[in-house]
């Protein structure tokens, strides 16, 4: 009798599957407005706010002797190039691989497109400042959201004084101490800057997003107050719903989006202590993504060693006016 364990020449058994559990979702760059193409690396725009004036009456017969104007201020930021360079050797390109009907090179290019998409999302949601190309080790770099939404001046091309995000709209405490009262106070400060309620979108690390969902479970203990909040669940649906995806507040609506690419390391792209605990809350009418070069694939000439390509893009992260934005920079 021949036993299976003793047989030679057996064909390997392969499922026609390549499994990848990671999401390709990039919520910020998917939602943000795509702006006109910048004509230079350094891109500029203007900001202003209406003047605060008194409202006392004017004397009868008084002539105008002094005059006023409302100045604008300059904001600038660099664009940056990002890329991924896929390549496969001659023999690797000709090998038949399970579940790769179009071949190894096509698969590597497809993965490179996702990598570049992630690079753009990570940079836009980073804490990195804009930089100039120094010709040796640093290339042109665009400014990340956590650097834009800042109460202090940036190093290069700082946001002008008077147009930086107020300190009351930036939370830097611990996740355990973050709650409704802190967030509502930030929203009220934003309302005061904007002089009205506006629709906002929040891009939140998953641990911070869970803290917002906890708003349905817990009420702060306040002396002399009686909690009246109720949470109801429809038993007939046999579904337990425990999430908060939208806040309707006196200061405006806030849509909440979980994000996996906040505040990452600029060199490696890896998560930091801030990534899943931090968040940005933005008026999407005040942000934009300007492509000098849309993501593209350039196949390089074949020189005998295999197939090579460049997948790249040149982009600029624009925050028009950050007076109303909120930032939660939490690392513990």
Q: Is the pLDDT of residue 249 over 90?
A: yes
Considering only residues 35 and 9, tell me which one the structure prediction assigns the higher pLDDT: 35
β 73-78/42-47 pair status: antiparallel
Lowest average pLDDT, out of 24-28, 202-206, 241-245, goes to 241-245
Q: At CB < 8 A and 24+ separation, what contacts does 3-7 make?
A: none
How high does pLDDT run on average in the chain? Answer: 91
Q: Tokens 């939660």 map to which residue?
A: 328
Is 61 part of any domain? no
Distance CA 210, CA 27 (A): 17
Distance CA 221, CA 241 (A): 25
Q: What is the arithmetic mean of pLDDT over 115-127?
A: 97
β 252-258/246-249 pair status: antiparallel
Structural domain that includes position 104:
26-48+72-328
Is 6 part of any domain? no
pLDDT tens for residues 49-105? 999 999 999 999 999 999 999 999 999 999 999 999 999 999 998 888 888 888 999
Cβ proximity of 220 and 177 under 8 Å:
no
Is 320 part of any domain? yes
Is 277 part of any domain? yes
Considering only residues 319 and 25, tell me which one the structure prediction assigns the higher pLDDT: 319
Is 265 part of any domain? yes
Is 66 part of any domain? no
Q: How confident is the model at residue 266 (pLDDT cuts 50, 70, 90)?
A: very high
Q: What is the arithmetic mean of pLDDT over 115-132?
A: 97
Domains in the chain, number: 1
pLDDT of amino acid 229: 67
pLDDT tens for residues 292-327? 999 999 999 999 999 999 999 999 999 999 999 999
Measured CA to CA in angstroms, residue 256 lies from 66, 179, 259 at distances of: 49, 15, 10
What are the φ/ψ torsions at residue 71 (nearest 5 degrees)?
-75, 155
| pTM value surpassing 0.85 | yes
Is 53 part of any domain? no
Is 60 part of any domain? no
């Amino acid at each position: 009798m021949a036993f299976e364990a003793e047989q030679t020449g057996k064909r390997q058994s392969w499922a026609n599957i390549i499994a990848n559990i990671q999401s390709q979702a990039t919520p910020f760059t998917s939602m943000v407005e795509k702006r006109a193409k910048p004509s230079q690396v350094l891109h500029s725009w203007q900001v202003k706010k209406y003047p605060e004036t008194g409202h006392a009456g004017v004397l009868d017969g008084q002539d105008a002797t002094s005059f006023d104007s409302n100045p604008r201020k300059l904001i600038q930021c660099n664009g940056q190039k990002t890329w991924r360079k896929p390549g496969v050797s001659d023999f690797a390109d000709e090998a038949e691989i399970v579940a790769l009907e179009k071949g190894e090179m096509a698969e590597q290019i497809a993965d490179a497109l996702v990598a570049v998409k992630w690079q753009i999302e990570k940079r836009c949601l980073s804490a990195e400042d804009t930089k100039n190309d120094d010709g040796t080790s640093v290339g042109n770099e665009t400014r990340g959201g956590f650097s834009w939404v800042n109460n202090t001046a940036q190093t290069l091309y700082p946001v002008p004084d008077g147009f930086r995000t107020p300190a009351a709209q930036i939370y830097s405490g611990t996740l355990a101490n973050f709650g409704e009262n802190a967030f509502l106070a930030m929203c009220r400060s934003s309302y005061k800057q904007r002089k009205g309620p506006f629709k906002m979108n929040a891009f939140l690390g998953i641990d911070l997003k869970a803290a917002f969902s906890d708003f349905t479970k817990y009420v702060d203990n306040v002396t002399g107050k009686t909690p009246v909040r109720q949470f109801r669940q429809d038993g007939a649906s046999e579904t337990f719903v425990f999430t908060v995806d939208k806040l309707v507040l006196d200061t405006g609506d806030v849509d909440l989006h979980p994000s996996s690419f906040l505040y990452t390391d600029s060199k490696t792209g890896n998560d930091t202590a801030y990534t899943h605990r931090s968040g940005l809350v933005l008026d999407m009418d005040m942000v934009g993504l300007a492509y000098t070069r849309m993501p593209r694939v350039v196949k390089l000439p074949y020189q005998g060693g295999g197939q090579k390509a460049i997948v790249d893009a040149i982009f600029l992260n624009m925050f028009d006016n950050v007076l109303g934005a909120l930032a939660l920079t939490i690392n513990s």
